[in-house]
Amino acid sequence: MSETASHLGDVTVLDFATVGPAARCSRVLADYGATVVKVGAPRGLQVQPPFHSYAGQRGMKRVEIDLKSEAGKRAFLRLAEGADVVIESFRPGVVKRLGIGYDALSQANPRLVYCSTSGYGQAGPYSQWAGHDINYLALGGFLDCSGRRADGGPPLPGATMADIAAGGMQAAIAILAALHRRHATGRGEYLDVAVADGVLWCMSLWFDQFLATGDRPGPGHDVLTGRYAWYDVYPTRDGRWLAVGAIEPQFYANLCKALGLEKWIPHQYEDAHQEAIRRDLRRVFETRDRDAWADELAPANTCVAPVLSVAEAAEDPHFESRRVFTEAQHPDRGRLRQVGPVLAGGDRQKTGYALPDLAKSDAEELLLDAGYSRDEIQKLRSEAAIA
């Protein structure tokens, strides 16, 4: 058994999600060794993400079930009886109407941890709002605290941070905590994961500041939002960029000395001098190319790093040395690279993953394990209750 499988190798997860926070969550659980079964609607009724998304469902199984048919619903309930976790991301109220909500499933499996992920939570005035990552970041204050475009509006984030951290990681942490508590109580529980709530947690430094002091966070209000010249990004001669994060006085002093700007060392936190410091930093950085500056400054305790593109980061020697990328074999696309189980404790040594054929189903294997006979499975297929 691999190191990864030893973490959650005895955990079975049924996951209804194809995209978004719930899919991020099940990716985390699978990378720590859980058996994740993707439960989808009959073919043609559910949009599938690109073949490479979410690591191509590496290490996962799949089954298609028509939950609107009684036979299909019974098949899912049978699978849920042997599962540890169910993850769903339907609009609040849908699973209850389908008869597959926590109340129904926990009667047959009291140890079940049931995780509902939604944008705004299962209750509250906004619970029925439709939304995506940008909407949750907007409601939770993240966008307003970001920088500004030329037209005065907040910029679009470079990644779906609400889905990833506020939703997916929140769900994974909550599930792991519930599984741990189950060891003591013998019972599972229901988890209401609201992505917008998770954004508030991500923004808690600024919310706590406002609630405690009345200060109103926003672009340029503090160290991390652009108030000071030494926490910013700067263009270089070749049109690329450097990120500077010299917060601590010793790192700031090292940076000023390396750039011949010693005169600014005593004025690090003086607001009146920030624009002048920013102009000088920009002027000096524009005299050399990005990588020349990075090679000199990054190892010199200055908190400087190059702003890499995705293509550059994919070939970066540091990431290569840490084995964060792995190789996989796709049934149609052939060999490809992808981000491996990169979170701490993941198995970075394994490579050569065989990705599942998303046109095929593991229904027979899964339902046999759940106690169905081959004849019963064939009948379900003939009724289009499963695929």
pLDDT tens digits, one per residue of 9-41: 999 999 999 999 999 999 999 999 999 999 998
Alpha carbon distance 244, 142 (integer Å): 21
For the chain, the average pLDDT equals 94
Q: pLDDT-derived band of residue 44, with 50, 70 and 90 as boundaries?
A: low
Q: Does 174 fall in a domain?
A: yes
Q: Can 132 be counted among the known catalytic residues?
A: yes
End-to-end CA, the chain: 30
Alpha carbon distance 161, 179 (integer Å): 25
Same domain for 100 and 151?
A: yes
Q: Does 323 fall in a domain?
A: no
Same domain for 114 and 229?
A: no
Alpha carbon distance 261, 277 (integer Å): 9
Same domain for 80 and 190?
A: yes
Q: What angle do CA 131, 72, 91 make, to 5 degrees?
A: 15
Same domain for 123 and 267?
A: no
Residue 64 three-state SS: strand
Catalytic residue among 15, 66, 84, 163: 163
Catalytic residue among 132, 221, 267, 273: 132
Same domain for 109 and 197?
A: yes
Q: Can 208 be counted among the known catalytic residues?
A: no
Query: Which of 15, 197, 185 has the alpha carbon at shortest distance from 114?
Result: 15
> CATH code at 256?
3.30.1540.10
Q: How many CB atoms are located within 10 Å of the residue 153 CB?
A: 10
Same domain for 140 and 276?
A: no
Q: Does 326 fall in a domain?
A: no
pLDDT in tens, 207-243: 999 999 999 999 999 999 999 999 999 999 999 999 9
Domain boundary among 306, 340, 359: 306
Q: Exposed (0-12), middle (13-18) or buried (19+): which is 142, by Cβ within 10 Å?
A: buried
- Taking 50 as the threshold, does the pLDDT of residue 1 lie above it? no
Q: Which of the listed ranges 48-62, 270-284, 349-363 does the model predict with the highest average pLDDT?
A: 270-284
Same domain for 20 and 66?
A: yes
Same domain for 375 and 268?
A: no
Residue 36 CA to its chain's centroid (Å): 17
Q: pLDDT-derived band of residue 359, with 50, 70 and 90 as boundaries?
A: confident
Q: Does 312 fall in a domain?
A: no
Contact 350, 2 (CB under 8 A): yes
pLDDT cut 70: percent of the chain above it: 97
Same domain for 46 and 120?
A: yes
Same domain for 95 and 50?
A: yes
Same domain for 266 and 343?
A: no
Q: How far is CA 291 from CA 234, 282, 285, 343, in A?
A: 13, 16, 11, 28
> CATH code at 38?
3.40.50.10540
- Taking 90 as the threshold, does the pLDDT of residue 3 lie above it? no
Q: Does 73 fall in a domain?
A: yes
Total domain count, the chain: 2
- Cβ within 8 Å of residue 309, ≥6 positions away: none
Same domain for 43 and 82?
A: yes
The pLDDT of residue 42 is 77
Q: Does 218 fall in a domain?
A: no
Q: Does 256 fall in a domain?
A: yes
Q: Which range of residues forms the domain containing residue 49? A: 5-202+332-382
Q: Does 348 fall in a domain?
A: yes
